[in-house]
Copies of this chain bind each other. A is one copy, B any other.
Amino acid sequence: MITPQTLKGFRDYLPETMIPRRQIINAAAEVYESFGFAPIDTPALEYLEILQGKGSDETDKQMYKFQDAGGRNVGMRFDLTVPLARFSAQHINELGTPFKRYHIAPVWRGENTQHGRYREFVQCDFDTIGTTGVESDIEAVLVIYTLFCRLGFKDQFVIHVNNRQILNGVLETMNLRDKSVSVLRAIDKLPKVGAEKVIEELKQTAGATDEQCESLLAMASLTGTNDEVLASLSQIAAGSELAQAGIARLRQILDGAKAAGIGDSAVQIDLSIARGLDYYTGVIFETFLTELPKIGSVCSGGRYDNLAELYTKQQLPGIGASLGLDRLLAAMEELGKLPDTKTPADVLILFFDSERLNDYIKMSVELRNAGVKVELYPEPKKIKAQMQYADRKGFKYVVIAGSKEFEEGKVQIKNLADGSQKDVPLTELAAAFK
């Protein structure tokens, strides 16, 4: 006997988890498509040089890599952005720009499995490539907003928005522009380690003066309404054209969101989000659930100047974001937002009389033709066993009919939620479920 087990860091999705997971995936796909993002797919395996080119030391270390039977060095993708860069460089002449795509697919990282992290997880990315227009920035906010409303989080999430140009502009005026990576890295830790440690790091790694540290910390800690934050920022960044352009862009995004009916409470300017390191060059987003801020951002992204510089000379600017499907699923579980069902069907037809098999089948087909999802129990077992099955799986209704009922041309519908039952003529069964 071989022990049936999954690898460390990997998991099976049983129906009760896979049903809501599929609902989230379908919701993401439908929302992305409603904005004109087209689906694509790329291989799980790529040439190792393609994956190693853009990744950080960390992703290189975590990557699943090996030599295939043909002696090629290959790796399993660790995100959907590197494959998008390779894909775009390869096909952009055929695709044309602007190119809007979404991609929902598993990725693999040999991460430390503490903290409930898995080594296989699904990413749901959307990106618009080939344009620097602010419309795409606004649209990214709209997509995230629409998606979380659709998933049942209306008024229960906030999209935090920042613009890299602001910090970069301010750093220019401080003559610290070439230290931006160190500064970002330090500021990114503010919520976790506090101001004192961030100042220490800013001095050590970026060589910032006391005054500069104070200024940078003040900027990262700005709070208030969006209007207040923008007003304060304008003053702090008075000397920088780049920062002023970044501030103006944020204003346009807020105005566009308002035109789309999104209130200020759902989109907040937050200078403390830094969103990784040197990849993003413009607006950046993170999305937090108001009831579960500690699980971190559930949808993040931003604007970049050049997606595919390792694979093509053509400059491809763009903007996109990624929904953290499995993190969101865990959050929905914790918040009691998942349906408690192990079956996608609503109705179970019980099966008593094997002589009547074809009548049961007819019934099931009629219900399905009327749009009802219906399962027929596969064997003529005792009612107790079949009812236990219905309860365990979470069916909403059972349909009960034996030879007596078929002769009389009627069936019984039992509502498992409230225990009520009613008899309906066999000919009106489908109508009863409408």
**Residue A182 CB within 8 A of the other chain:** no
Q: Are A44 and B108 in contact (CB under 8 A)?
A: yes
Q: Are B345 and A389 in contact (CB under 8 A)?
A: no
CB distance from A14 to the nearest CB of B (A): 6
**Residue A2 CB within 8 A of the other chain:** yes
**Residue A397 CB within 8 A of the other chain:** no
- Contacts A36-B375, A311-B1; is A365 near B43 (CB within 8 Å)? no
**Interface window among A132-140, A172-180, A272-280, A407-415:** A132-140
Q: How far is the CA of A142 from the CA of B375 in the complex (A)?
A: 12
Q: Are B14 and A344 in contact (CB under 8 A)?
A: no
**Interface window among A83-91, A152-160, A220-228, A282-290:** A83-91
Q: How far is the CA of A46 from the CA of B72 in the complex (A)?
A: 22
The 7 lowest CB-CB distance pairs between A and B, nearest first, are A36-B375, A66-B66, A15-B38, A259-B358, A36-B345, A33-B344, A10-B43
Q: How far is the CA of A312 from the CA of B2 in the complex (A)?
A: 8
Q: Are A373 and B108 in contact (CB under 8 A)?
A: no
Q: Are B66 and A39 in contact (CB under 8 A)?
A: no
**Interface window among A93-101, A195-203, A210-218:** A93-101
Q: Are A40 and B68 in contact (CB under 8 A)?
A: no
**Interface window among A47-55, A185-193, A230-238, A296-304:** A47-55
Interchain residue pairs with CB less than 8 A apart (27): A1-B310, A2-B49, A2-B311, A4-B311, A5-B86, A6-B42, A6-B90, A7-B74, A8-B72, A10-B43, A13-B42, A15-B38, A26-B26, A35-B374, A36-B345, A36-B373, A36-B376, A37-B344, A39-B344, A45-B120, A68-B110, A96-B389, A135-B361, A139-B378, A259-B359, A260-B365, A261-B365
Q: How far is the CA of A322 from the CA of B340 in the complex (A)?
A: 28
Chain B residues near A98 (CB, 8 Å)? Answer: 377-379, 389
- CB within 8 A of A312: which of B1, B68, B90, B256? B1
Q: Which residue of B is nearest A50, CB measured?
A: B2
CB distance from A72 to the nearest CB of B (A): 7
CB distance from A390 to the nearest CB of B (A): 11
Q: How far is the CA of A13 from the CA of B102 in the complex (A)?
A: 12
Q: Which residue of B is nearest A346, CB measured?
A: B36
**Residue A128 CB within 8 A of the other chain:** yes
CB distance from A261 to the nearest CB of B (A): 6
Chain B residues near A36 (CB, 8 Å)? Answer: 343-345, 348, 373-376
Q: Are A72 and B7 in contact (CB under 8 A)?
A: yes
Q: Are B39 and A19 in contact (CB under 8 A)?
A: yes
Chain B residues near A139 (CB, 8 Å)? Answer: 376, 378
Q: Which residue of B is nearest A53, CB measured?
A: B2
Q: Which residue of B is nearest A388, CB measured?
A: B96
Would you list which residues of chain A between 355 and 389 have a CB under 8 Å from chain B?
357-362, 365, 368, 373-379, 389
Chain B residues near A101 (CB, 8 Å)? Answer: 15
Q: Which residue of B is nearest A255, CB measured?
A: B358
Q: Which residue of B is nearest A260, CB measured?
A: B365
Q: Which residue of B is nearest A6, CB measured?
A: B43
Q: How far is the CA of A268 from the CA of B14 in the complex (A)?
A: 36
CB distance from A60 to the nearest CB of B (A): 12
